[in-house]
Structure 1
């Protein structure tokens, strides 16, 4: 589920960058992404699973925070890549895996699972090589861009933690549906529809924005939220670094951007880290049946 979501994020990210280059603002792309994500999920559930449209009132505060975190992740990342080299923005975002690992170790007062300790340096090291941070002039970075980059990591952490917190009470599709609604309403308050640039309503722009909402928000975020409930936020944040590889492949096929040798090595490290992380259960032990248990 996480790898599929990463591929969809890579496709939608490249399409979003192309729209921004055409003159569509990052805020408009974010707003349409949330709105069309909500509408597509709502239509799908109306047809297939109307029972998932019900949201318990007691879960409304958590879903509201979850939706605001969802909106913040996409917007802060868009603003970060507009002011920072993509390399730095990506490394800041995926530093969330390191923060989650440290937080889990403190909370559990023990050493994290061996698979996490092995996968963490592999994935973060791969991200650094894939992004090519060594070529960035770190002394000339935009301070506001750095703030948005750190805010991206913080909002991503909040999104994962909130997703785990509401997992036992609200199904993944329901959480994503109402989280997208909260995010869409929040951005409509920031930028009302009548203030959106006219070019966004043209068919050649509106169609890609719709697809970004469906394939770049509704589907991948529902997949990630479902995965969080199985693997936990720490493992999902590390598995999410596969987005760097997926985005690079999409950029090569779509935009003709070739990978350098260090980036290829970084991709290999990320894939290795994802494999190590994914082959083990959430508690770090291999999935083995207990003695005396009946095998299905």
Structure 2
């Protein structure tokens, strides 16, 4: 479909039609999922070598902020400025990001990883239901088809059927559901500032707020000494770049093209990306059921990506 220009005369930015906007937004989310998978595998290796999960998370936020600040400060300094009226929403975005990571860490400490992941990715179902109620109409057909495919694929890939569901920790279940709620809040906050604050800027200041919040939980002087060694700092820097700066900026950009519901559904591809990367990098095997689940997720992501963005979702202007 040919590109169209915004009203605004010569030199106005190009605006793509709905079909190309949806394809570009879907590709953006899939790229973010691959980066999340790389960062997750790196984090797993660091944790296996004695670095605490809290330390990995804290450095991830800080290095994410430092990376974006350096890039924007040297290439697009005007993006460092944020209008005072938008600061509360940017702070809310950062706090929601910190909340996502905190709730997820608490959930996996009390629940089987499989159950925690299913609860996290249930955010897609909650968003689809909320959209249907708010708009007083049935969700689009591609959402109705993609939702059971993606959630069913996630359940197969994480092996939730083998978990002892009758022995689950009630507190862990609360934190698991809170993770989904915090992720929804993060997506909604990202969309609410999309018309005024570029994705890279909101991600930069959001990661700064999240890093500050985590520093209150674990001050820098309480971080284990091994984390400051060069052989550990370099992988931590990579986690900050691959797991914070780049993918979260991509997710926010996609939210402004597709809306929170589709982004949360497309985000289930992270399970596929993480599983494949872990298999290639550290030899983590995949069962036939997991491979079939991955196929379901990929099919669901493809179906979801063929639709237009959520109603009233603003396009990315960054």
State the match for 2:274 in structure 1.
247
State the match for 1:55 in structure 2.
82
Equivalent-residue separation in structure 1 for 2:109 and 2:31 (angstroms): 26
- Does the 8 A contact of 1:30 with 1:75 survive in 2? no
2:152 alignment partner, one of 121, 125, 133: 125
- Does the 8 A contact of 2:191 with 2:260 survive in 1? yes
State the match for 1:15 in structure 2.
42
1:145 alignment partner, one of 154, 157, 172: 172
Equivalent-residue separation in structure 2 for 1:85 and 1:18 (angstroms): 19
State the match for 2:243 in structure 1.
216
Equivalent-residue separation in structure 1 for 2:215 and 2:265 (angstroms): 32
1:238 alignment partner, one of 261, 265, 277: 265
Equivalent-residue separation in structure 2 for 1:148 and 1:17 (angstroms): 21
State the match for 1:287 in structure 2.
none
- Does the 8 A contact of 1:76 with 1:149 survive in 2? yes
State the match for 1:261 in structure 2.
288
Equivalent-residue separation in structure 1 for 2:51 and 2:202 (angstroms): 29
How many Å apart are 1:147 and its aligned residue? 2.6
State the match for 1:171 in structure 2.
198
1:81 alignment partner, one of 105, 108, 113: 108
> Which blocks of at least 5 consecutive residues in structure 1 are unaligned?
285-296
- Does the 8 A contact of 1:84 with 1:142 survive in 2? yes
Q: SS at 1:9's partner residue? A: helix
State the match for 2:224 in structure 1.
197
Equivalent-residue separation in structure 1 for 2:172 and 2:34 (angstroms): 26
State the match for 1:272 in structure 2.
299
Q: Deviations over 1:34-55 (max 9, x none)?
A: 0000000000001111110001
Q: Deviations over 1:2-60 (max 9, x none)?
A: 00100110111111122222222222111110000000000000111111000110001
State the match for 1:162 in structure 2.
189
Q: TM-score of the superposition, structure 2-length normalised?
A: 0.87
Q: SS at 1:89's partner residue? A: helix
- Does the 8 A contact of 2:260 with 2:310 survive in 1? no
Runs in 1 of length 4+ with deviation above 6 angstroms? none
How many Å apart are 1:283 and its aligned residue? 5.0
